[in-house]
Structure 1
Amino acid sequence: MIQSVKMITALGTPLTAEEDLHVTGMEAQIHDQLAHGINGFLVGGTMGLMQLLSDETYRQLVEQSVQFTKGRAELLVGVGDTSFVRTRDRIRMVEDLSIDGVVVISPFFVQFGQEDLVDYYLSLADLSSKPLFLYDLPQTTGTKLEVETVLKLAEHPNIRGIKCSDHFVTIRPVIDSLSEQFRVIVAQPHLMDVLLRSGVSEHLDGVYILVPEWIKKMVAATEAEDWVTLSTVQRDLSGLLSFLQSFSAPLFSTVTALMNMRGIPGNFAPRPMRALTAHEQVLLTEEPHVQKIFAGKSISPVEA
């Protein structure tokens, strides 16, 4: 029996030319996801570039996300910063809003030991009025949440789960050791078909903003145990990801172009990230996986 599938989109943050929140773009992005059956959002995560936003833009991002979601999807908010007091202040900034949890990436810039991280997370969990989720992304932070650390932190009643963007083998012992009450949400966009088929049912990634149609197909295929369709969509998703990772333009600038092609306005690449050149824009529209996204659709790019 296939467990109910939970797909959580790490939303991008559309910005105006002045790098304020592009409210129309945020509303369009959320409605696009909801229309394709996405049942969870992470706002201000890695895709949302919280650390690059002004405090006022960040606050508005969360407030508007609450308003546009209207309880139709789980809403998690990234609050992790470089120190205890900075993360504490972000929790206080958002916890009075109607959100379902706060997500805390391991602190970055300065490297901390595992005992430091245990104290950090336990102290934040004590003060937060919202459920707290760990976020393991050592490729970016330079700090790994070790299995023993996660197991210890999972004993705290307000630490409800972990979003793991590291290799799946590093989180597998946690899945095997803990009950279903501790959620393990994986970010493995290249392995979704394998993991869904094996019963790993909670997934989160930023690429979902670009292809909610494909994610909807993957959910339907999993629930129907249609493994051929699931594998077919996975090949397309992996091909798109490989292209995005190897393309000459900055990732978030490419995301901006694709979102604008979807009719969602705003700039998802804050300065100093450059925009695509005219030549890169042509190459993007000619790429086979990009053409698959928009097959049968009318493309009317909007201005960022």
Structure 2
Amino acid sequence: MRKKIEGVLTAIVTPFDSEGAFSDAALRRQVRRQLDAGNGIFCGGTNGEFFVLNEQEKVAVTATCVDEVAGRANVVAHIGEISTRETIRLGKQIEKLGVDAVSVITPYFVPLKQNELITHYTAVADALSVPVFLYNIPARTGNTLEPQTVLKLAQHPNIIGIKDSAGSYESLSSFLSAVKDTDDFSVLNGPDSLIHQGFVDGCSACISGLANVAPKEINAIWALFRAGDIEGSRQAQENVTSLRTELYKVAFSPAAVKKALDIMGHDVGESRYAVAFDPQQVSTIRQLVAGIAR
């Protein structure tokens, strides 16, 4: 039986110091903060700015997360690169660190057919010993995994699920429907606006970028759902949905998330795609996070 990834995993930011270098100490502080809230860790993803990290930094980020978590929660690391060869190369380094699973976005820039995506993921899963999650985020990659493609890939013994960050309920429900009769295959929800509904419909976990800002508030959606308080879980979702909507109106994530953390007193540095926040934007974010526990 495969180890099931359940609950909330925070798509944790990668902190940088004043010189723009990866800060191990700051990441450890953020990991501890998430553990205190009951959350697992998803590192090296979109909110972790994998797209501007070099290979050495990606390995260092994962090593820090695994070491700080020390078996107390799940750690999933993103390893997706633009080519199959590079993805496998990074994956072979990451799997040695003790992660519970890895996540792989579709290759990007070059439009691929579904059979080409199957070839890519099969090669990655064949090459690695660590369990693999597919990662669907078409707005960022230009390539979409179709439900029937996912169903085929679900037959691979080392592919254990999919993280869907397409951003719509239609996408999430299509994957849940496609694999409903597949044993030990998990669907992980990406959009923070669909956490509650994802759990109701059968997602085993969510990967939340907003949990960087509101770790306890996001965890409450899962904790209440698991306890059988469906209405309480729905209300907890409503409590964070407006925060997500308004925060991401100010700037893209992870820039907006990092600015929110900075305002809250967490020194995580700026995004490497830094946004020049004007005073009004800073004021807006300050108001949004005013009621959130630091």
Q: Larger radius of gyration, structure 1 or 2? A: 1
Kept in 2: contact 1:81–1:87 (CA 8 A): yes
Task: Report how far residue 250 of structure 1 moved.
Answer: 4.4
**Greater CA deviation, 214-223 or 102-111?**
214-223
Task: Report how far residue 143 of structure 1 moved.
Answer: 0.6
Task: Report how far residue 173 of structure 1 moved.
Answer: 4.2
Change in 2 beyond 3 A, CA 1:292/1:228: farther
For each residue in 1:238-294, what CA deviation from the matched residue of structure 2 results, as whole angstroms up to 9, or x when unmatched? 1011101211x44433212221234321224114x234234432332134xx22214
Quick check: 1:75 aligned with 2:75?
A: yes
Q: Which amino acid aligns with 2:130?
A: K
Kept in 1: contact 2:154–2:182 (CA 8 A): no
Kept in 2: contact 1:253–1:275 (CA 8 A): no
**Greater CA deviation, 200-209 or 66-75?**
200-209
User: Cα RMSD over matched residues?
Assistant: 2.1
CA distance in 2, matches of 1:162, 1:17: 36
Kept in 1: contact 2:48–2:254 (CA 8 A): no
Q: Secondary structure of the residue that 1:67 maps to in structure 2? A: helix
CA distance in 2, matches of 1:46, 1:14: 13
Change in 2 beyond 3 A, CA 1:182/1:145: same
2:254 counterpart (245, 252, 255): 252
In structure 2, the residue matched to 1:300 is none
- How many residues get paired? 288
Quick check: 1:205 aligned with 2:204?
A: no
Q: Which amino acid aligns with 1:109?
A: F
Kept in 2: contact 1:253–1:276 (CA 8 A): no
In structure 2, the residue matched to 1:55 is 55
Query: What does 1:225-236 correspond to in 2, within 5 Å?
Result: 225-236=228-239
Task: Report how far residue 127 of structure 1 moved.
Answer: 0.6
Q: Which amino acid aligns with 2:291?
A: K
In structure 1, the residue matched to 2:159 is 159
CA distance in 2, matches of 1:192, 1:292: 21
Quick check: 1:238 aligned with 2:237?
A: no
Task: Report how far residue 186 of structure 1 moved.
Answer: 1.3
**Greater CA deviation, 231-240 or 62-71?**
231-240
Change in 2 beyond 3 A, CA 1:127/1:199: closer
Kept in 1: contact 2:189–2:195 (CA 8 A): no
Kept in 2: contact 1:190–1:234 (CA 8 A): yes
CA distance in 2, matches of 1:280, 1:220: 32
For each residue in 1:29-70, what CA deviation from the matched residue of structure 2 results, as whole angstroms up to 9, or x when unmatched? 1000000111x2111011111121122222211111111111
CA distance in 2, matches of 1:165, 1:146: 13
Task: Report how far residue 221 of structure 1 moved.
Answer: 2.1
Instruction: Structure 2: state its 5+ residue gaps.
Output: none
CA distance in 2, matches of 1:293, 1:286: 10
- Regions of 4+ moved over 4 Å: none
Change in 2 beyond 3 A, CA 1:17/1:98: same
**Greater CA deviation, 187-196 or 59-68?**
187-196
Kept in 1: contact 2:189–2:198 (CA 8 A): no
2:199 counterpart (196, 199, 216): 196
CA distance in 2, matches of 1:268, 1:100: 29
In structure 1, the residue matched to 2:10 is 9
CA distance in 2, matches of 1:200, 1:133: 13
Task: Report how far residue 198 of structure 1 moved.
Answer: 4.3
Task: Report how far residue 84 of structure 1 moved.
Answer: 1.1
Task: Report how far residue 180 of structure 1 moved.
Answer: 4.0
Q: Percent identity?
A: 28
Change in 2 beyond 3 A, CA 1:5/1:155: closer
Q: Secondary structure of the residue that 1:200 maps to in structure 2? A: coil
Q: Secondary structure of the residue that 1:170 maps to in structure 2? A: helix
For each residue in 1:129-185, what CA deviation from the matched residue of structure 2 results, as whole angstroms up to 9, or x when unmatched? 211110011111111101111111111101111111122323434433333401111
CA distance in 2, matches of 1:45, 1:68: 18
Task: Report how far residue 197 of structure 1 moved.
Answer: 3.6
TM-score by length of 2: 0.90
Q: Secondary structure of the residue that 1:190 maps to in structure 2? A: helix
CA distance in 2, matches of 1:209, 1:253: 12
